[in-house]
Structure 1
């Protein structure tokens, strides 16, 4: 009774999986080709990695003693609740 329907479903499944497989193979080769093009025509990189300058934290900003005390209490409370 459902044999033609199951046959069509299997055919559709195989066709769909085939299209996805072919697409992924094309995608792999396209990615490899683009990678080779970038390596060939891209900018030349030096051997040493370039590190961006780090922003140094400024110690000139002072924290209100009441705020610092509140932060210390909050940290202590958090640690007491989340002990391992």
Structure 2
């Protein structure tokens, strides 16, 4: 093998090794930064929305009972 080809293969190996090491370091650095950010700057939980109850004037009480029973049945099936 000629010395030029041997030098070329050596440079290629050195370059690929350098890129590989850099990518490994980059993976560790981003993982550590992600953990630090989530530890010291956690996301603020959104405040729960306040539900306004509509006045029950003119609402059929039987309809309310039927709707409450339907919601209860639906929630019991999801568990």
* Range into which the TM-score falls when normalised by the shorter chain: 0.5 to 0.7
TM-score when normalising by structure 1: 0.51
- Counterpart of 1:27? 26
Q: Which 4+ runs in 1 deviate beyond 2 A?
A: none
In terms of fraction of residues, the more helix-rich structure is 2
Q: Which runs of 5+ in 1 are unaligned?
A: 49-84
Measured after TM superposition, the shift of residue 44 of structure 1 is: 3.5
TM-score when normalising by structure 2: 0.54
Q: Greater CA radius of gyration, 1 or 2?
A: 2
Which string of whole-angstrom CA distances, capped at 9 and with x for unpartnered residues, describes residues 3-53 of structure 1?
A: 1000000000000000000001000000000000000001442157xxxxx
Number of residue pairs aligned between Structure 1 and Structure 2: 47
Q: Which runs of 5+ in 2 are unaligned?
A: 48-79
Alpha-carbon distance between aligned partners in 2 of 1:40 and 1:3, rounded to the nearest angstrom: 56
